[in-house]
Structure 1
Amino acid sequence: MLLNVKFQFAQLQLTSSNFVVRMRTAEIRATLIESYKCSELMMNTRRRIQMLQPNEEEVIESKVRRSTSWWKQLRTVTQRSFLNMSRDIGYYLLRIIFYVVVSITIGIIFFHIGTDSNSILARGKCVSFIYGFMICLSCGGLPFFIEELKLFQVERSKGHYGEAAFVLANIISSFPFLLVISLFCGVIIYFMVQFHPGATNLAFFCINLFCCLSVAETCIMTVASVVPNVLMGIGTGTGVLIFMMMPSQIFRRLPDIPKFFWRYPMSYLSFTTWAMQVQ
């Protein structure tokens, strides 16, 4: 009986000593961890990790980009963008219909105004209506371009292609649609309004309209890359186009525009000013 009691007492002492050792080990480990968290060594390690992480991402991105040539990226993005513009009726197809309807309306209102001196005022109003109202229809493509921009940001983060390929692809893919709009509207307005006769005058009018629409589309694309949502984009894009039209000769003659800011430099920066002058 006495031997059992001694054996149990010795076992209890051994268990308590092991528990104390484990407690001391846990305390030492916790103390070391806390000391490391507050040490300068950990701060330097974190700083080194943050410095190395972007470099690793750039290496991965460069490897992905090297796998395909830049021309192949441009061709692929252009084909996809053109396919989206062709399939989505609201991107360009619906706007082509609106442009044609507006052109027919202009032709009906200013039907055969002539080219004599008595029709100078009517021709000026007609040209102002063309380069004033029709350019504002460019805002219709902003929601679709914002969707493409979101897709570009995702694919750009994965390193599929860069900004230059995206911008050039959108310019190339939208070129046929803008050319169709310029030709259709230019021919309808030219023959219904009866501007100065001649193939050269017709070609000049279509080219002038094409350049104005291209610059307006560029302004809308620039606004879409800055604003966060569609509603702000439509409002801002319309405001930018109207702001560009203010110093032109749509509303007042160039000598009557105030010299400060509006004539110098805004009248020289506005694309509608040059379109009105050359027309």
Structure 2
Amino acid sequence: MAYNHPRDVIPDIEKAFNDVHLHNDIIDTFCWERVSVRVKDKTQDKRLLESIDGAAYAGELVAMMGPSGSGKSTLLNVLAHRPFEPKFSVEGQLCINRAAASTAIFRRASCFVEQEDSLIGSLTARETLDFAAKLGLPNSVSRAERKRRVEELLASFGLLRVADTIIGTAIRKGLSGGEKRRVSVASQLITCPKILFLDEPTSGLDSVASFEVMSLLKEVAKKNRIIVIASIHQPSTATFNLFDKVFLLSQGKLCYGGPVSFLSNYLEDIRLPMPLHMNPAEYILELVNVDFASDQIRAEQLIRITQLWQNPAKRPREAQVVDVSFDSSARPVSLMPLTKRSQLLIPITLLHRNWIKSYRDVLTYGIRIAMYLGLALMMGTVWLRLQSDQEYIQPFINAIFFGSAFMSFMAVAYVPAYLEDRSTFIKERANGLYGATSFLVANFIIGLPWLFLISVLFSIIAYWLCNFRPDASAFFTFVMWLFLDLVAAESLVVFMASIFPVFVIALALTAFANGLWMSVGGFLVNPTVLNVFWKYWARYIDFQSYVFQGMMVNEFSQRVFECSPAPSGSQADCSCMYRSHLQDQCQIDGEAILDSYGYGRGNTRLWVGILLCIVLGYRLLTLGVLMLKKT
């Protein structure tokens, strides 16, 4: 079913934002010359692209096509100034209006839409565009103007009917695949780019939805003189005919680069006429697909196609790409300086967006709250109403360990929510919206109230059911340690998931790290007998060890336990498990228990300070990882 959209409301971006973004300079031409990419490592030295030339003009819709592995996505990434790993060697000349443009200027003039829709599932379509405008537009744009711009894009992309529908999460169904793709594109157009790159914009869409997305893009590109360059795999005939130009790649070489309208004539000239009643996109992909060129004739045919295009004299005049040579006398494009976005407003905007996500998406904190409440009930009923007799000392210690260690262990549930946030951050950073510092600051702050709420709710249930020391100050100290435990555990999750942004790997490594911290935290092996290899490094950076110490001191430093009656025939009045100055009174001073673990009193502030340093350390390491890892 085709989507209905009012064609008469396609926004005039240039008119609306002429004084905001590009002002006096217009990008008429984007050229690339002799673009080559080589990958080098220990096992291979392979050319992914070989001397690719091309050009695109304002208002054109350009397709990058080729079979899998042909290099179309690589070429798109080169043209979009996307970062490459050090093992990739990139050569060539890129120019705007035949003059060189710095990466900073190019980033301001262009946007990139990923193949996967990196959208926050708990936001509505309108909110997604509104936050894109808040993050991407300069401060000089008024709130009313920003709202008008959002509404125009919603109308032009046929999204008004679903503007207040959420994108969709694993729990709640939202927009369709085609609607999500249109939201992705519209959110990039909000900042009025002059060049728009799209990686497989029709991936996962049916032919009708693909045609609608691309036809809308063509309308916007023509009306606003935007250069749209898209890698596309196998479009339908109707979608293929929407493109003004096509660049056909095979094995990293260009087989055709020119107007779609003259492709048929070119194939006729090289004696490979296009069959009637066949999708031209399918036919040309078959011509250049080396994966299934098993026979000699097909292989020789592909070599001939490539060689013919490499000889400019053999190309038809209409299909000739313009002279893309770099013109040293051309005036470099100079964009109007943007009103600098406030470095304070960016984290505030991210906080606002994260807050909406945190209470709408149950996978972020809702499931965790339910999980922790279940854990509190289980703990409170297993260690129900522990008494002040000495046989309950060990159960008290066990409960303290369980409450602290497993609370931090279960922080692994935050991995999927963080990976979604990170995916959005990678996309928005690549488009120059904000950096790693703003992302991490917002991510850290938004978690604090939720983690504090979890700590309070857990403590209200478990603390009193277990019959820990009945004192208000002891209760709130218990809450404090639990809160710091969760903050440190979540910081560990963020660090691990930033190093390995794959769900299963991040989950496994975080679980492994928590298992290590449990082992050396002081409960499973008494600190006085822990071997030196683990004692003098792991235990001192183990946040769980400080939480366990703090909770032990909080519980036992001001508590007294009753000794058991002495066995019959014994001269003593009672039998005490721990020696203390209260032994004559058949009691055990709680400090004797702490002495057996080697825990001193009066170190609470020191331990809190160390815990805060560990949290800061995890966050700074995460910042370094995000700065180094661009993808």
TM norm structure 1? 0.77
Q: Secondary structure at the match of 2:531?
A: coil
Give the deviation of 1:224 after TM superposition: 1.0
From the superposition, tell whether residues 95 and 181 of structure 1 become closer, same or farther in structure 2 (CA, over 3 Å). Answer: same
Distance 1:197 1:116 in 2: 15
Structure 2 residue 550 is matched with structure 1 residue 274? no
Structure 2 residue 117 is matched with structure 1 residue 68? no
Residues 114 and 194 in structure 1, CA contact (< 8 A), matched pair in contact too = yes
From the superposition, tell whether residues 57 and 244 of structure 1 become closer, same or farther in structure 2 (CA, over 3 Å). Answer: farther
Q: Which residue of 2 aligns with 1:226?
A: 499
Distance 1:207 1:66 in 2: 43
Distance 2:369 2:461 in 1: 13
Q: Which residue of 1 aligns with 2:409?
A: 136
Give the deviation of 1:185 after TM superposition: 0.5
Q: Which residue of 1 aligns with 2:603?
A: none
Residues 115 and 195 in structure 1, CA contact (< 8 A), matched pair in contact too = no
**CA offset digits 1:139-181 (Å, max 9, x no partner):** 0110111011010011111121111111111111111110110
Amino acid at match of 1:229: V
Give the deviation of 1:46 after TM superposition: 5.5
Identical columns (%) = 22
Distance 2:106 2:469 in 1: 61
Amino acid at match of 2:379: I
- 1:118-157 → structure 2 map (5 Å cutoff): 118-157=391-430
**CA offset digits 1:69-126 (Å, max 9, x no partner):** 0111111100101111111111111110110111011000101112443321110111
- 1:184-199 → structure 2 map (5 Å cutoff): 184-199=457-472
Distance 1:263 1:57 in 2: 53
Q: Which residue of 1 aligns with 2:72?
A: none
Give the deviation of 1:53 after TM superposition: 3.8
Distance 1:58 1:48 in 2: 13
Structure 2 residue 380 is matched with structure 1 residue 111? no
Q: Which residue of 1 aligns with 2:371?
A: 98
Distance 2:389 2:102 in 1: 72
Segment drifting more, 227-236 vs 197-206: 227-236
Give the deviation of 1:52 after TM superposition: 6.3
Q: 1:207 aligns with which of 480, 490, 493?
A: 480
Q: Secondary structure at the match of 1:215?
A: helix
Instruction: Give the length in aligned residue pairs.
Output: 234
More helix by share: 1
Identify unmatched segments of 5+ residues in structure 1: 1-36, 38-44
Q: Secondary structure at the match of 1:265?
A: coil
Q: Secondary structure at the match of 1:191?
A: helix
Amino acid at match of 1:212: D
Q: Which residue of 2 aligns with 1:16?
A: none
Amino acid at match of 2:345: K
Distance 1:166 1:228 in 2: 16
From the superposition, tell whether residues 55 and 85 of structure 1 become closer, same or farther in structure 2 (CA, over 3 Å). Answer: closer
Distance 1:176 1:165 in 2: 18
Give the deviation of 1:268 after TM superposition: 0.9
From the superposition, tell whether residues 195 and 74 of structure 1 become closer, same or farther in structure 2 (CA, over 3 Å). Answer: same
**CA offset digits 1:160-207 (Å, max 9, x no partner):** 111111111111111111011000001111110111121110000000
Provide the aligned C-alpha RMSD in A.
2.4
Give the deviation of 1:270 after TM superposition: 0.3
From the superposition, tell whether residues 71 and 256 of structure 1 become closer, same or farther in structure 2 (CA, over 3 Å). Answer: same
TM norm structure 2? 0.35
Give the deviation of 1:229 after TM superposition: 1.2
Distance 1:66 1:146 in 2: 32
Residues 107 and 432 in structure 2, CA contact (< 8 A), matched pair in contact too = no
Identify unmatched segments of 5+ residues in structure 2: 1-50, 52-90, 111-135, 139-337, 552-631
From the superposition, tell whether residues 48 and 94 of structure 1 become closer, same or farther in structure 2 (CA, over 3 Å). Answer: closer
Amino acid at match of 2:407: M
Give the deviation of 1:66 after TM superposition: 5.0
Distance 1:116 1:177 in 2: 37
Give the deviation of 1:228 after TM superposition: 3.4
Amino acid at match of 1:270: D
Distance 2:93 2:548 in 1: 59
Q: Which residue of 2 aligns with 1:182?
A: 455
Structure whose CA Rg is larger:
1
Residues 138 and 216 in structure 1, CA contact (< 8 A), matched pair in contact too = yes
Residues 376 and 458 in structure 2, CA contact (< 8 A), matched pair in contact too = yes
From the superposition, tell whether residues 60 and 269 of structure 1 become closer, same or farther in structure 2 (CA, over 3 Å). Answer: farther
Q: Which residue of 2 aligns with 1:216?
A: 489
Amino acid at match of 1:263: K
More strand by share: 2
Q: Secondary structure at the match of 2:367?
A: helix
Residues 373 and 458 in structure 2, CA contact (< 8 A), matched pair in contact too = yes
**CA offset digits 1:36-67 (Å, max 9, x no partner):** x9xxxxxxx96898x96435457779996853
Distance 2:137 2:416 in 1: 33
Amino acid at match of 2:103: P
- 1:81-92 → structure 2 map (5 Å cutoff): 81-92=354-365
Q: Which residue of 2 aligns with 1:54?
A: 103
Distance 1:88 1:113 in 2: 38
Higher relative contact order (CA 8 A, sep 6+): 1
Distance 2:438 2:447 in 1: 14
Amino acid at match of 1:154: K
Distance 1:84 1:48 in 2: 40
Amino acid at match of 1:208: W
Which segments of structure 1 move beyond 4 Å, counting only runs of 4 or more? 45-49, 57-66
